[in-house]
Structure formats: structure tokens, C-alpha cells
Amino acid sequence: MFYNILNKIKINNIIKKKILIININKKEINLLKILIKLNIIKYIFKKNNKYILILNFFKKNKLIFNIKNLYKLSNKKFLKNKNIKKINKKNKIIIISTNKGIINNFDADKKKLGGIVIAYL
């Protein structure tokens, strides 16, 4: 699921490998779109049944190193819209799975949604 993609991106950043080839499902494509908005991924290509990700690295980009997976099937963390507003004041980024799809905390605040926390950046 989501933790697999985030861990592979983090590992590729550590070993400074810019290309990542993975199998993903439809829900995970939305996660990749958010990572493109955050400038972590440059491009996504589909070849055969696999996706090729071109990762965007910066020498001082601590965003990738600070990715923390919070999505666990046994211990899901829920956020209400009230709590998302508090997080937005601190300028932190959280990726949330809502009934409207996977979005970041800023979009969730605009749409007044809460949901399950996937990752914390």
C-alpha cells in the first residue's frame, strides 16, 4: 500500500537513485499526484504494467528525509477538520485519505474534510 511507495522513495533518496520502477494501484496514483505537487517526484511514466518514477532530489531537501509513514492497518490515526486547522498554522504537511480521495492537509482544510493520516512530512 502507501507505506511501500513512501519507503522506496526514501530509500532511493538515501542511495541517490533518481529512477524508481514500481507496481501501483489506483489509490496509490493519487498519492503520487500529491508528491508531484510537493515537488518530490518530477515525472511519472507508465510502461507495460509498471510505473516509472523520476524523483526530484535537492541537496538540502529535508522533506524526503522527514517522511514518516503513519498508515498502519492495525493502528489507523484519524484527524478531524479542527485538528487539521491547527496543523496548517504550523506549516506542516500531512497526506490524508478521505472519502473524497487522497489529499494533503491544506486541501482538506479548504474542503472541510477529515480522514485517515497516511504520512507526515
* pLDDT above 70 for 2: yes
Q: Provide the residue type at 74 as one letter.
A: S
**Share above pLDDT 70 across residues of the chain, in percent, rounded to a whole number:** 88
Total domains in the chain come to 1
Quote the DSSP letter at residue 78. E
Cell numbers for 111 = 474542503
Domain that holds residue 74: 2-120
φ and ψ at 24, to 5 degrees? -140, 160
What pTM value is reported for the model?
Answer: 0.78
* pLDDT above 80 for 7: yes
Helices (H), 18-61: 26-37
Q: Provide the residue type at 52 as one letter.
A: I
Q: What is the CATH number of the domain that holds 115?
A: 3.30.1490.10
Taking only the tens place, the pLDDT of each residue in 21-33 is 999 888 788 888 8
User: What is the chain's Cα-based Rg?
Assistant: 14
- Separation between Cα atoms, residue 10 and residue 12, nearest integer Å: 5
